[in-house]
Structure 1
């Protein structure tokens, strides 16, 4: 049942984003920033954690989850280091995910033939 819930919630998030991209004039980069900021705000308001417990990976994997991870990192770093934690918390919390994306992208470039779009 957890897999089904994660699939449905993640699919609904992706469908909502696709509708937003299709029906508005927002560029994809701005929509991605909007998702990260929305995840951060929902984390700040305390809404994202119960949502993530319900949806599992369906909520933690999309960009909303990345925004929440940034918020959690900043919150913990500010509690531990004070004001300077606001600048370092997001980096330390998201470093593993960003590093994994870069490493797997690099490996994929060896497996497949990368080329520029025309």
Structure 2
């Protein structure tokens, strides 16, 4: 049942993204930023935590989950370090994801020839 919940919630995030791509003039980069920002805002409002508890990876893996991790990292950083934690907590909370993105981006750039689209 956990897999079905994750699939449905993750799929709904994808549907929202596809609708934004199809029905607006927003670029994919702006949509990605909106998803991360929405994750932060929904976490701050206490709405995203129940979604994570319900859907698990269906809510933590998409970009809204990255925003959730940023917000949780900031929350923990402020609790442990005060004001300085507001600046460092988000990076500490998402360090694994950031490191993986940089590493795999580099590896893929070695395998394939990166360049501008023409």
TM-score, shorter chain, exceeding 0.5: yes
Equivalent pairs counted in the alignment come to: 118
State the distance in 1 between where 2:69 and 2:87 align. 14
**TM-score of the superposition, structure 1-length normalised?**
0.90
The residue aligned with 1:74 is 74
Gaps of 5+ in 1: none
State the distance in 2 between where 1:64 and 1:10 align. 10
CA RMSD after TM alignment = 1.4
**Alpha-carbon deviation of 1:112?**
4.1
**Alpha-carbon deviation of 1:31?**
1.4
**TM-score of the superposition, structure 2-length normalised?**
0.90
State the distance in 2 between where 1:60 and 1:28 align. 20
| Structure 1 runs (4+) greater than 6 angstroms displaced | none
**Which whole-Å deviations, capped at 9, do the CAs of 1:8-46 have from their partners, x for residues lacking one?**
211111111110121012222221111111101111111
SS in 2 for 1:46: coil
Gaps of 5+ in 2: none
The residue aligned with 1:21 is 21
